[in-house]
Amino acid sequence: GAGVSQTPSNKVTEKGKYVELRCDPISGHTALYWYRQSLGQGPEFLIYFQGTGAADDSGLPNDRFFAVRPEGSVSTLKIQRTERGDSAVYLCASRISGGSGGYTFGSGTRLTVV
């Protein structure tokens, strides 16, 4: 596609449920990033993929959060046993690795845990 696509755009789930958020990056972008943005704050880093592997997962807040990118394109962010504090906009970005390639952001998934 022409841009970074994130689905769903909105997700409401009950506390304790499992959710999956999907990111479809720009074709050919080998680097993929997940960020989380709480209301009124800037995005915070969660995890970075280079190809299929997680190059940096230091931003994942705890072991309820996990992300995969099995074929080096689409990525899925998985959250187990959701808590109300997980409510935020989850943003995905991709870029061509190396050089001075800029970042392209998706429109985000707004997750609300009730």
Partner 1 sequence: KNEVEQSPQNLTAQEGEFITINCSYSVGISALHWLQQHPGGGIVSLFMLSSGKKKHGRLIATINIQEKHSSLHITASHPRDSAVYICAVRETSGSRLTFGEGTQLTVNP
> Residues interacting with partner 1, by CB under 8 A?
31, 33, 35, 37, 40-45, 48, 50, 55-56, 59, 89, 91, 93, 97, 100, 102-108, 110
Nearer to partner 1, 38 or 80 (CB): 38
Nearer to partner 1, 44 or 83 (CB): 44
39: its two tokens? 């209301």
Exposed, middle or buried by CB within 10 Å (0-12, 13-18, 19+), for 85? exposed
Q: What is the DSSP string of 36-47?
A: EE-TTS--EEEE
What is the smallest separation between the CB atom of 68 and partner 1, expressed in angstroms? 18
Residues of the chain by 3-state class (helix, strand, coil), percent to 5: 5, 50, 50
What is the smallest separation between the CB atom of 81 and partner 1, expressed in angstroms? 25
Nearer to partner 1, 12 or 81 (CB): 12
